[in-house]
């Protein structure tokens, strides 16, 4: 399988490699970022998410991309469409799921929108129009606004198996 590299005017997106873990760990460990990651409580959880995303690439041909600033070359987050089972029910589980995490100092610059637009364009070309879901913690207003801009609409509120509350959204094809 040829792994895609997506480029926008400001970003380069590529599948993760093991050397990306330290930068990703630093991003998700930031207090401002971590408060919106209900399901990830420490290094073991972050490593499990990192491996799950790599597994999505292997099993499904799509997954989360490492996001780098093109000019500086530094990793500023990850985003993409991946496949997972969260135990949230048939309207959510076993569906392509979108997600985005950016380094706190990069939030509010339109980078997540730029990255996810490139991801959705690529995903649609490769896999055709598909329903895509996402989950966002209540209170994460920047991500809720971004989801709406990306075409997501609310499905319902849910509780993760670990007890964390999330809001579920879907983006229908078309």
List pLDDT tens digits, range 1-14. 688 999 999 999 99
- Read off the pTM: 0.92
For 106-133, write each residue's pLDDT tens digit.
989 999 999 999 999 999 999 999 999 9
Q: List the strands of the sheet with 132-136, edge to edge.
A: 6-7, 11-14, 64-69, 75-83, 96-102, 132-136, 165-171, 153-159
Element (H, E) at 99: strand 96-102
140 three-class SS: coil
**Do 117 and 150 contact (CB within 8 A), yes or no?**
yes
Domain map of the chain by residue range?
6-128
List beta partners, residue 133: 97, 170
- Rounded Cα distance between 33 and 37, Å, is 7
**Do 39 and 135 contact (CB within 8 A), yes or no?**
no
118 three-class SS: helix
- Rounded Cα distance between 158 and 30, Å, is 25
Contacts of 11 (CB under 8 A, 6+ apart): 67, 68, 69, 70, 111, 114, 115, 118
What is the CB neighbour count within 10 angstroms for residue 141?
A: 9
88 three-class SS: coil
pLDDT of residue 171: 98
Which is more confident, 130 or 24? 130
7-11, 14-18, 27-31, 60-64: least confident range: 27-31
For 134-170, write each residue's pLDDT tens digit.
999 998 999 999 999 999 999 999 998 888 899 999 9
CATH number of 6-128: 3.40.630.30
């Amino acid at each position: 399988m040829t792994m895609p590299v997506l480029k926008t005017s400001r970003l380069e997106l590529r599948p993760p490699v093991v050397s990306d873990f330290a930068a990703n760990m630093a991003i998700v460990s930031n207090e401002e970022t971590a408060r919106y990651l209900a399901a990830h409580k420490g290094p073991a959880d972050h490593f499990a998410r990192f491996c799950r995303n790599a597994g999505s690439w292997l099993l499904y041909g799509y997954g989360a991309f490492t996001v780098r600033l093109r000019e500086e070359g530094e990793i500023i987050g990850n985003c993409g469409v991946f496949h997972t089972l969260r135990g949230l029910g048939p309207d959510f589980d076993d569906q392509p799921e979108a997600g985005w995490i950016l380094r706190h100092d990069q939030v509010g610059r339109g980078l997540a929108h730029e990255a996810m637009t490139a991801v959705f364009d690529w995903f649609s070309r490769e896999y055709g129009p598909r329903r895509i879901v996402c989950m966002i913690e209540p209170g994460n207003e920047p991500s809720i606004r971004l989801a709406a801009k990306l075409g997501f609409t609310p499905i319902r509120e849910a509780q993760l198996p670990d007890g964390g509350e999330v809001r579920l959204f879907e983006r229908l094809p078309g």
